[in-house]
Structure 1
Amino acid sequence: MRIAKLACALGALVAVTPAQAAPSQDEQFWFLTLAQGSVKDDILYMLEVQPRFGGDGSNLNQILLRPAVGVKLNDRLSVYQGYAAVRSPRSSGADVTEDRSFQQINWSIGKVAGGALTSRTRLEQRWISTGDDTGWRARQMLRYALPLSNKPRRLAAIASVEAFVALNDTDWGARSGFDRVRSFAGLEVPLSGKSTVEFGYLNQYVDNRGRRDAMNHVMAINLMLRQ
C-alpha cells in the first residue's frame, strides 16, 4: 500500500514539475537604430536607440538610449566608454528607470570558414530606481557574418550569441551568476555606403532566480548607420 502511494506521489510530481519549470513565453518586437563612425582620426562615436515591445508586440516594454565615445587602437580593436538610459513603463505605478555606465571592447577576430567573426565585451555598472545598490554585469557577444555572394556589397547570413553574467547581488533584485543569454539568426542587407539593415529571430532566455524563468521570442530589426 505504501509503495502504491509512493508511486502515485512520484507520478504526480513528474506530471507537475515540467509545467512549473517551463519558462513563461512572450512574443516581442525590438527595433534598433545604431549610428556609429569617426569624430576625428581615431576618435569614435556610437549612438543607439531601441524601443522594445512585448505582450505579443502590443505594449512598449522598454526604451533604451545608449551613447558612447571610443578610441580605435588598431584596425581590429576599439574601446568605448558609454552611458545608457533605460526606461521600463508600468501600467500601474511609476516607471522603472535605469542608468548604466559601461566599458566596451570591440574586437575583429578575423576570417573563419569564409565569414567574419567579431567579439564584443562589455562591463556595466547599473543603478535602478527601485533600489540603492550598484549592480555589476559582464556581457560577452560573438557574431559571425557569412557573405552569400562574391559581390563587394552583398547579402550575408548572420548569427550571434551573447551571455550575461551578474557579478554581485543588489537590493533591487540582481543575483550574482548567470543572468540571461541572447541568440540571434538572420540576414544582413547592404544599404547605401557602409550602412546595413539586419533582421531575423532573436531568442532571449532569462534566469529569474527563484521565480519562473522567461523566454522571449523576438522579431529583431537592426538599422546600422555607419559613417
Structure 2
Amino acid sequence: MMFAIRAYSDRIAPFMIVVAMIALPRNARAADEAVQTWITGGGVAQIDDNDRIGIDVSYRLRPGNDQLLQRITLDHRIADGVQLGGGFAFVTSRVQKEMRFHQQLIVDLGVLQSRTRLEQRYIDSAAQPAWRLRERIQLDIPLEKQRKWFLMTSAEFFFELHKPSAVRDSELVTTRQLIGLRHVLTPQLGIQLSYMRQHSFPDDRPDEVVHVPWLAIAWRL
C-alpha cells in the first residue's frame, strides 16, 4: 500500500487538531465501562442527479439488551457539496421501542464532511417526544493513489433539546469518537472496520463509556 497522506497534510492537519481537541471528554469523572459490537449493512441508490435514497440496518450487540435499528433517508442536493434530507427509523430492543424522525444538513468538502441532524424520538415509555441535535465532523483520507483505502475519523456530539424527564431542556449528553479503515472492494461495494468510543454524561449517576468495534458494509445501487 502506498501512503499518500503527505500530499494532504497541509489541508488536513488543522482539521485533525480541531477534531482531537473537541473530542476530549468534558471532565475526568469516574465512568462505568462496557463493550458492544455493532454490525451495519446499508445501500444508497441515486434517484436522479440531485436526489438519493439510503437504507441501513444496524444490529448492536449490547450486554443483556441487543438493539436493532432500521432507517431510511432521502437526501436532496441544493448546491455543490450541500444536501438537505430527512427520514425515519425504527429502533427496537428488549426493553424499549422507538420511532425516530430526522432532518439533516450535509456539507461535503471532499476530505472533510459535516452533518447536522435534528431528531424527534417517540419512545414507547414516554408520553411526549424527545428532541435531540447531533453534530458530526468527519475526515475521510485516501491512503493511496487508487483511492481504494481510506482512513476515517470523526467526532459527534449529542445535545438533548427537550426531554420530558430531564431537569434541563438543553445539554450535551453524549460524545462519540471514531477511527477506522474503509476499503472499496468494487465501485458498488465497500467495507469499513472501525473502533468507536461513546461517552455519555447522565445527571444522576457516573459517566458511561462504551467501546465499540464496528463492522459496516455498504452497497451503491
2:43 counterpart of 1:43: no
Whether the aligned pair in 1 keeps the contact of 2:150 and 2:183 (CA below 8 Å) is yes
Q: 2:85 aligns with which of 80, 87, 98?
A: 80
Q: Which amino acid is the alignment partner of residue 139 of structure 2?
A: Y
State how far apart, in whole Å, the 1-side matches of 2:104 and 2:43 are: 16
With 142-151 and 165-174 compared, the bigger mean Cα shift is at 165-174
Instruction: Please list every run of 5 or more consecutive structure 2 residues that lacks an aligned counterpart in the other structure.
Output: 1-28
**C-alpha distance after superposition, 1:66-121 (max 9, x if no partner):** 112221223301111100111121xxxxx3111111001111124xxxxx011111
- Report deviation, 1:172: 8.0
| TM-score computed with the length of structure 2 as normaliser | 0.81
Amino acid corresponding to residue 224 of structure 1 in structure 2: A
Give the match for residue 183 of structure 1.
177
**Cα distance in structure 2, aligned partners of 1:117 and 1:208:** 31
Is residue 154 of structure 1 aligned with residue 148 of structure 2?
yes
Give the AA of the match of 2:116. T
- Partner residue in 1 for 2:165: 171
Match of 1:129?
124
Following TM superposition, where does structure 1 have runs of at least 4 consecutive aligned residues deviating by more than 4 angstroms?
A: 172-175
CA distance in 2, matches of 1:197, 1:209: 37
Aligned pair partner of 2:205 in 206, 211, 214: 211
Alignment correspondent of 1:68: 73
Sequence identity of aligned pairs in percent? 26
Match of 2:105 in 1: 105
Checking the alignment, whether the CA contact within 8 Å between 1:105 and 1:120 is kept in structure 2 is yes
- Over 3 Å counting, the alpha-carbon distance change for 1:60 and 1:130 in structure 2 is closer
Q: Please, which runs of 5 or more residues in structure 1 have no aligned partner?
A: 1-20, 90-94, 111-115
Distance 1:164 1:85, change over 3 A: same
Instruction: Give TM-score scaled by structure 1 length.
Output: 0.79
Match of 1:24 among 11, 18, 32: 32
C-alpha separation in 1, matches of 2:135 and 2:73: 18
Choose 1 or 2 for highest CA Rg: 1
1:132, 1:171 within 8 Å by CA — same for their partners in 2? Answer: no
Aligned positions, number: 193
Q: Matches of 1:173 and 1:129 in 2, distance apart?
A: 20
RMSD across aligned positions (CA): 1.8
CA-CA distance at 1:61 after TM superposition: 2.2
Give the Cα separation in 2 of the matches to 1:78 and 1:37.
Answer: 15
CA drift of 1:135 comes to 0.9
Quickly say closer, same or farther: Cα 1:173–1:43, change in 2 above 3 A: farther
